[in-house]
Structure 1
Amino acid sequence: MLKNIQAVAFDLDGTLVDSIPDLAASANAMRVELGLAELPRETVQSYVGDGINALVHRALSGDYHGKVNANLLERGFPVFMRHYAHHIANATRPYPETEAGLGLLKTLHLPLAVVTNKSEMLAVKLLKELNLLDYFSIVVGGDTLPERKPSPEPLWYVAEILGVAPENMLMVGDSHNDLLAAKAAGCLSVGVTFGYGNMAQLACDDATRPDLIVNKLPEIYENLRPSQPKD
């Protein structure tokens, strides 16, 4: 199934790195500055995946589907961005074996990409601070194009830039947005079990069932490397 893969795209938060500690810290710094009580880290984690605008809106309302007046949003957004930009890698770390997995894939001479709903500027900054940026040929953020995941547009864009057909590109992620985008783009998909999404639950739905599920990134290499000739 994976023998024709010519490029691999990765989600960022929840797939390559665990960024919840710093996202939660910035969300709570914003709330405290605006006179609001802090939120539990697990609550902030449930708000992640649809970009910074959505995260700030949800963190201000304290509800995934909550409403926030424009004035509060206008005051809160720059506070969050200022704090997060300065503390983006305080506690954020790559998941175990992330670098090993990326390094193994590079030995197959496959171009690697990041396709995230995080803003491009913040994604690049985070990857650079964690010494991961050089693994990737391109980084596409949630504001790079008019549409973001679950739209297929970011994956089609990456495939075009890398000169591969979408069906020959793999999308690796932890959330419904990643898997929906992959299916809509015609890419094969890999779901990771260690991220923020419930991969067992996602795998039960035809719309979000990944083609492969892994517990660590080096397993992708094991599935992509050429078969060894038998004696």
Structure 2
Amino acid sequence: MSPKLDLHHIQAFAFDLDGTLVDSIKDLAISANAMREALGMEHLPLETLKSFVGDGMGRLVHRALTNDHEALAEGHLWQQGFALFAKHYYEHIADYSSPYAGVVDGVTLLRSQNLPVVVVTNKAERFAVKLLADLGLLDEFSLVIGGDTLSEKKPSALPLQHVAEVLNVDANKIAMIGDSHNDILSARAAGAMAIGVDYGYEDMNLLAQDPQTRADVVIHSIVQLYDAVRQDDPQR
């Protein structure tokens, strides 16, 4: 059983994007298969491509080209593949993508409590901004940190350290909410709270088997964050 959600000390919320705020896997998979098709390759199953998401678009392209989680495609092939993927995905970024249930209400409610909400994703910044804009979510967030915004991305502590600096909040008063090992590891490295979601692309039960990737608490809906804030401080 996940521990009780205690947010009395939290002053800002950082959200992962794919698999946490937005279910984007179908558009990512379609673009990956469009890339493969353009290169004369057969399509890969959705579940296979789903397992390749989480470490940024560059790694996704390597994995989609090689059909292997660890292998790297040859340099010229990767460059060609990345250009094909990026063009298709940018043009079709929100064809099938949509916010998960509870996301819009949850984020709006947190903002109503004057709590900063930001996005920290490994997706390239221009794609993250476009996806949020196309879904009408961009104005809800005071900051969007993409995988190429800084010199390091999750699981590095740097993105959350940068958020702490920009918001003038101690890192240990930030909650990082995500669906993957990278989100939890980044939170651990920065000294932030790690909150997992049980509906994303990685299995929180499997991640919990390793203390390093075990979330401090797992939630079913973003709205639970607001409920915990209100419970902790009704006058906030």
TM tier, smaller: over 0.9
Quick one: which amino acid aligns to residue 42 of structure 1?
E
CA deviations 1:5-52 (Å, max 9, x no partner) are 110000000000011000000000000000000000111110000000
What does 1:106-125 align with in structure 2 at a 5 Å threshold? Answer: 106-125=111-130
Unaligned runs of 5+ in 2: 1-5
CA deviations 1:45-93 (Å, max 9, x no partner) are 1000000000001101111122311121121111000000000000011
TM-score (norm 2): 0.94
Identify which range, 66-75 or 142-151, moves more after superposition: 66-75
Matching residue within 190, 209, 216 for 1:204:
209
Identify which range, 207-216 or 150-159, moves more after superposition: 207-216
Is 2:191 the counterpart of 1:186? yes
Distance 2:91 2:177 in 1: 28
Distance 1:73 1:209 in 2: 33
Is this contact kept in 1: 2:10–2:175, CA < 8 A? yes
Matching residue within 41, 55, 58 for 2:46:
41
Distance 1:136 1:72 in 2: 36
Matching residue within 68, 72, 77 for 2:73:
68
| Paired residues, number | 229
Structure 2 counterpart of 1:128: 133
Distance 1:226 1:108 in 2: 12
> The residue matched to 1:75 in structure 2 has which SS?
helix
Is this contact kept in 1: 2:7–2:232, CA < 8 A? no
Quick one: which amino acid aligns to residue 106 of structure 2?
G
> The residue matched to 2:139 in structure 1 has which SS?
helix
Distance 2:36 2:167 in 1: 41
> The residue matched to 1:113 in structure 2 has which SS?
strand
Structure 2 counterpart of 1:165: 170
Distance 1:228 1:159 in 2: 22
> The residue matched to 2:144 in structure 1 has which SS?
strand
Is 2:9 the counterpart of 1:9? no
Structure 2 counterpart of 1:91: 96
Unaligned runs of 5+ in 1: none
Structure 1 counterpart of 2:3: none
Matching residue within 158, 174, 191 for 1:153:
158
Residue 203 of structure 1: how far off its partner (Å): 2.0
Distance 1:44 1:139 in 2: 25
Matching residue within 58, 62, 86 for 1:53:
58
CA deviations 1:126-177 (Å, max 9, x no partner) are 0000011111000000000010000000000011101100011110000000
Is this contact kept in 1: 2:24–2:98, CA < 8 A? yes
Quick one: which amino acid aligns to residue 140 of structure 2?
Y
Distance 1:219 1:179 in 2: 18
CA deviations 1:182-225 (Å, max 9, x no partner) are 01100011100000010111123211111111011101111122
Q: Percent sequence identity over matched residues?
A: 52
> The residue matched to 1:137 in structure 2 has which SS?
coil
Aligned-residue Cα RMSD (Å) equals 1.1
Moved over 3 A (4+): 226-229
> The residue matched to 1:26 in structure 2 has which SS?
helix
Is this contact kept in 1: 2:8–2:232, CA < 8 A? no
Distance 1:172 1:67 in 2: 29
